[in-house]
Chains A and B, each alone.
Chain A
């Protein structure tokens, strides 16, 4: 893939550029700090390439419009922040149930409620997992740089298409507003649809496994509903069918788990103290590990999570067998740390490190905590 010259870009802009590279041609949204730049970028760019930008009356409508456009065959994106993310939840659940692909960017800000609109936080990790009702599966990516915002949005669009499953890109204010040099590969980065030919025995919800979405308007008359449904989309309340249908939604993600769960480890091969984190906090942690391991050869490592849901359980289990202590810095009162603890299974001591005053966790804070356990 030929690469162009590096450009200076903001995290939010990288989401927009990535989405377009992945074939997104429809955006519906409602303005909210600190996500508005995604909408502004899409408003400028989509009309130039024949796409649709629409500012809806609220976030509920934005989520609905995106699902409607996806059913029409477009690749779609919407972006928001905490309060708007709350409003999107019901229709997000609809997209999961009806297996309609779409990508939702949530640039986290300090909550609850209106909170501190301009301050960064990582308080929506659990909402991203469980915000909509019911026992649903979800995919959530957490970029830690502008470049990651770009390529994880591309991955989100492609995975969402492949699995017919909504994907959330969970940014935080720091990453969304940060400017960094990125090198954008040239050309499209979308996974092409394997074939436009629809097999004669096509079923919209084939229980045998992944089946492409055939958009409305091509003579395949099926039903789409948020009710539990059979293979053809028609409502059912039959207990075995309901159970099977819910299992199917989860099994899709389990089967493609290794494509979905992205993590990255740096540092000592056999760390005594490991850091596990995600989003902008990775940046502070990385500078700690650089100093501790690369300069001073201390047994310290960092597992950064690009995917927080489905949770990287295997990776944590393996890490817990190596490390004595796992430190989990988060800009909240401790959300993902519970999950880390669960999969560390007592093999390593899990230590939360929290900050929730609207400021980033800085390297000194992490370094101090690491020092305590070395």
Chain B
């Protein structure tokens, strides 16, 4: 097992570019372990990513890796999946990448229910460009472009995806990496558009400005606030205030787009 993990990492490309305490490494490691556990053939796995700190993960993973343009990872992935439906695609995006500039591709990928595994590393901020607010920055939190706290309301990303037609939605975080790994495995095994929102600390561009402490504090806070779907089911709204519900929020059976297309032209995608 350890040996395989080594095979899936481009160890020569390390050390990575991320800041000390960044959650991107934890999420990337969970992804690698998840891929390993799916038992996929290395040559069938493709990592696609957008632009942002988190998207740099693609360069460290030893598969066919496609680092695209800001916001467009899902559109590149759609083309690749339609051309080669047998491939297993994992699409890494930042919160800004996926929900701001890439929001259109996100909802349309969900609508098509194309078999892609979208992993959104949600650090609530534009990390790479130094801390501007994103559509997932909570109201009131500070950013370089919201020095007095943002007045905007954030998306509920998983509900947005569900409304648009996504058939699998799960939330995890960098403070509970084993659970995140399990969620990614379940997403991979789900046929259709799967969305995994992974909360991740950005102590440099988000934590510091919002006085959330260092990476350790941010991770502790993440863990404390997290509550499983199962436990949340028996709690009322008041008890759930300020908690994040973790786990698989929905998993629905519906026709998958690539398969439906190939079926319509009389081809079997195997």
Contact = CB atoms under 8 A, between A and B. Distances in A.
Contact of A61 (B65, B75, B264): B75
A61 B105 contact: yes
B76 A50 contact: no
Contacts of A216: 46, 64, 66, 80, 84, 87
Interface residues of B, number: 36
A359 interface: no
For the residues of A in contact with B, the DSSP-based class is: mixed
Contact of A50 (B46, B68, B86, B267): B267
Contact of A94 (B64, B69, B265): B69
A217 interface: yes
B67 A91 contact: no
B104 A66 contact: no
B44 interface: yes
Contact of A73 (B68, B83, B261): B83
Given A56-B78, A60-B72, A219 B59 contact: no
A234 B66 CA distance: 11
B75 A68 contact: yes
Interface stretch (A145-153, A224-232, A321-329): A224-232
Interface in A233-262: 234-235
Nearest to A215: B84
B64 A225 contact: no
Interface string A194-231: 00000000000000000000011111111111110000
A215 B108 CA distance: 26
Contacts of A225: 58-59, 66-67
Nearest to B41: A219
Contacts of A66: 79
A64 B68 contact: yes
Contacts of B65: 221-224
B82 interface: yes
Contacts of A224: 65-67
B32 to A, nearest CB: 14
B43 A218 contact: yes
B79 A28 contact: yes
Contacts of A235: 59
Interface in A67-104: 67-74, 76, 90-91, 94
23 contacts: A47-B264, A47-B265, A50-B265, A52-B261, A61-B75, A61-B78, A61-B105, A64-B72, A64-B79, A65-B76, A67-B76, A67-B79, A68-B66, A69-B79, A71-B80, A73-B84, A216-B64, A217-B46, A223-B67, A224-B65, A225-B66, A226-B69, A235-B59
Given A67-B76, A94-B69, A217-B46, 19 more contacts: A26-B79, A50-B267, A52-B83, A54-B79, A56-B75, A56-B78, A61-B104, A62-B75, A64-B79, A65-B75, A68-B80, A69-B82, A69-B83, A72-B83, A216-B66, A221-B42, A222-B65, A224-B65, A225-B59
Interface of B: 13, 42-44, 46, 48, 58-59, 62-69, 72, 75-84, 86-87, 104-105, 108, 261, 264-265, 267
